Chain A
């Protein structure tokens, strides 16, 4: 009996298992346990949540493998970890640790300002950020088996995640109305591989799972992203920078499942304590924004 590992179906498939769920940033094994108990479908293991990366400044790199292994040992759900854009050796290290998904993330300081990792070279699947359909399909072309909006991580301001989700989903809606002979010009215009543009038109959706990320802080934010049409939600700083992480985490999980039920959303939004303080993206200097990282 022939056995095949690391296939495109396997890589895309794990992301399909995460749909309708919440992936939470955690910085310790204890956080990871809280996230799992709250109903997270996966955790993102990292040394600092994006809000702290912003506050600390300096170069943000892959986390200590020891920390990632501790988090892997502490939970039964999938564990993701971040490497820098273009840093394929960090990715090799993460793959060897047994992480289930690698996020080639703009939240860390890019290692290559021209090229992303050729993700087809790995058995472990990758997720990448995007702001529009062209960027998303370039990443899929390089082998990303899952896509997320970039939003503006570590701000608690959902406005950029909304902008990016609306742009990506709006681009797809436009694409579905185009004539087949217009697809080559459109591919050129958005800088995306023609075959993937064609596939996206045929499917009427992104060819891989598409989550929202970057600024989600409340159950209502999470449900908003779901109603806009994403497949699930990443929550970074929004949980462990809030007053009652366990309760907020559980409320956001419930909000993603029942994203169309306003009475349940009202119920889970009650008495959650302080949300993360947050930073208003529209008043932020351009140099501090990280969504522009990625090419």
Chain B
């Protein structure tokens, strides 16, 4: 399997607001992720799971260490390149769906296609077809013209999943994707994500509190006291 992501000796520190020193969230973390893998990272609140995920997804920068994504050192990429990577190579799913209230379901899914600068024909054709298929796949084929306010929490999160996959990313990062959902919705979403991981062949990394959700992944790691350890659920 092809290696997608490599973390080498990653550390992250935050200054204390009063200016009295700093706090270390991540300490010397190294890991490798290959294509098609599904990984869960579990840990208590405040353990730095989201920080680690943000560093993997080029949303945040480590205090030290190297993040290589698809063989590229992210520290050497400028904002344009980082934006391109986030847009085309990575899909994000957040704990809160973060759907844009002003856009319909279909439009929300298509938001990440805007930076691609596609021609109108492509935008209206192939990409839209894919969006519709994916929405059908998650059971929202009839809700394409709905606005977020007309959806349930689980439905909104499914839209967020489709949005994450629209640009055929090689890596999908999910930050507590089931965190805001009830148990049933949470289970449904978990199965959907794993199923789509297989169908789309993407690598899938999620941070979660939910051991049930983590159990659906091929691998699991535990983040505690800034250290990442392999974890068997």
- Decide if A and B are genuine partners: no
The residues of A with any CB-CB pair to B shorter than 8 Å are none
